Amino acid sequence: MTKVDIPEDSLYGLANLPYGVFSTPGTEPRVGTRVADSVIDLGVLLGDDVFTRPTLNAFMSRGHEDWVATRRRITELVSGDVPAEAVHEVADVTMHLPIEVADYVDFYASEHHATNLGRLFRPDSEPLMPNWKHLPVGYHGRAGTVVVSGTDIVRPCGQRKAPAEPAPTFGECRRLDIEAELGFIVGTGSELGSAVPIEEFERRVFGAVLVNDWSARDIQAWEYVPLGPFLGKSFATSISPWVVPLLALTAARVATPIQDPEPLPYLREHEPWGLDVDLSVAWNGHEVTRPPYREMYWSPAQMLAHLTVNGAVSRTGDLYASGTISGPDKNQRGAFIELTWGGAEPVDVGGEQRSFLLDGDEVAITATAPGTDGTRIGFGSVTGRVLPATEAQR
């Protein structure tokens, strides 16, 4: 038996206990939790086969009561002596995609981001579309290209046409960008033909991850009218490997900004709440922006209610992301197209002036939030490095 040492300032104290899927050399991926600088093998700790699986889906599908009981049990066991064979150093493990992604939806819930993008993409009209304050705007993304943090991102190719060009050309993306977002994972789904009432959010959503919604702005700008994002987004979406349980985020709840006009009844919450999560985006190791999740206009519960209000099925493993997180200040913008105002105002990245991503660049998004015991809890990071387009693509 051994004891897990937890320094007071650890972002992975007992208030966090995120779930992830890890392996050590020569072993199969399985479920663990992170405590300080250790990864605890939950199959060994709890003696439950559901944690020997290569994704969290089977555990998540057991439902909210089980999530509460499991979290309580882990807290008790980790506070005492744990079997030495259950404990691995973080540095010794490989992290994997934590869930089998069922469907993937991306929203557009930041008023600051939607306003900035509206100005950039449609300079001659109102930045917010007439529907924006009545419903959480979203689109269906591609579940199969959701990848875990650390996966290299190959520069996509596609059709591009700058406004001044007479015709589209095919080639590699020239305006490769990021979107810093929070993603919510559905633990227990809903039947075809039934809507998830807004108050069921807490029982159905298991946890949250960091999301980088890589975006090819030139491909997107040419293709997106009238049906929305398609190939400019679906080449890659990265998520962080540790799923922070919603149960760990109770102290991070904050009221959303005032919603005016009042939403329709199915989107009405007694007090709509978001999360006080502070994100940081590092470009080649240099912090360039700090997006605040507390600024998001639509709440995560409103997003889930809207996603299912037409009777669409939701399933264990569904991932829905918030959309780019941007605050009111320039250094709070969660996409480089906003941060550099379409490339017109480059930012300093370690002495170099940058607007969009170059081959070899690496982006790391990290985040923390207040924990229930007065400490801060960490989401870890979602990273990715840009590789050149391949000859086969071109």
Q: What span, in angstroms and rounded, lies between the C-alpha atoms of 130 and 293? A: 24
Residue showing the smallest CB distance to Mn ion in the complex: 213
- Token readout for 257 is 């900004």
Q: What span, in angstroms and rounded, lies between the C-alpha atoms of 154 and 149? A: 14
Q: Which is nearer to Mn ion, 46 or 288 (CB)?
A: 288
Question: From the CB of 288, what's the least distance to Mn ion, in Å?
Answer: 18
Residue 90 — φ and ψ, nearest 5°?
-55, -40
One-letter-per-residue 3-state SS of 365-384: EEEEEECCCCCEEEEEEEEE
Question: From the CB of 149, what's the least distance to Mn ion, in Å?
Answer: 17
Binding status of residue 213 toward Mn ion by CB under 5 A:
yes
Cis amide linkage into residue 261, ω under 30° from 0? yes
- Token readout for 135 is 């419903």
Q: Which is nearer to Mn ion, 179 or 218 (CB)?
A: 179
Site string for Mn ion, 289-328 (x = CB under 5 A): ----------------------------------------
Binding status of residue 223 toward Mn ion by CB under 5 A:
no
The answer to whether the CB of 187 falls within 8 A of the CB of 98 is: no
- Token readout for 362 is 């690496």
Residue 2 — φ and ψ, nearest 5°?
-145, 170
Binding piece for Mn ion, criterion CB under 5 A, among 162-170, 173-181, 326-334, 340-348:
173-181
Binding piece for Mn ion, criterion CB under 5 A, among 14-22, 178-186, 219-227, 357-365:
178-186
Instruction: Catalytic residue, from 64, 113, 140, 270: name it.
Output: 113
Binding status of residue 177 toward Mn ion by CB under 5 A:
no
Binding status of residue 179 toward Mn ion by CB under 5 A:
yes
Question: From the CB of 236, what's the least distance to Mn ion, in Å?
Answer: 12
Binding piece for Mn ion, criterion CB under 5 A, among 90-98, 177-185, 302-310, 375-383:
177-185
Question: From the CB of 321, what's the least distance to Mn ion, in Å?
Answer: 6
Residue 247 — φ and ψ, nearest 5°?
-65, -20
Binding status of residue 41 toward Mn ion by CB under 5 A:
no
Q: Which is nearer to Mn ion, 18 or 138 (CB)?
A: 138
113 counts as catalytic: yes
Binding piece for Mn ion, criterion CB under 5 A, among 55-63, 132-140, 208-216, 325-333:
208-216
Q: Which is nearer to Mn ion, 106 or 295 (CB)?
A: 106
Q: What span, in angstroms and rounded, lies between the C-alpha atoms of 24 and 121? A: 46
Q: Which is nearer to Mn ion, 232 or 317 (CB)?
A: 232
Contacts (Cβ under 8 Å, ≥6 apart) of 265: none
Binding status of residue 106 toward Mn ion by CB under 5 A:
yes
Binding status of residue 338 toward Mn ion by CB under 5 A:
no
Question: From the CB of 148, what's the least distance to Mn ion, in Å?
Answer: 18
Which DSSP state fits 243? B
Q: Which is nearer to Mn ion, 213 or 338 (CB)?
A: 213
Closest CA to 326 of 359, 370, 294: 294
- Token readout for 347 is 């930012």
Contacts (Cβ under 8 Å, ≥6 apart) of 291: 180, 279, 281, 324, 325, 326, 327, 332, 333, 334
The footprint of Mn ion (CB under 5 A) covers 106, 179, 213
Among all residues, which ones are annotated catalytic?
113
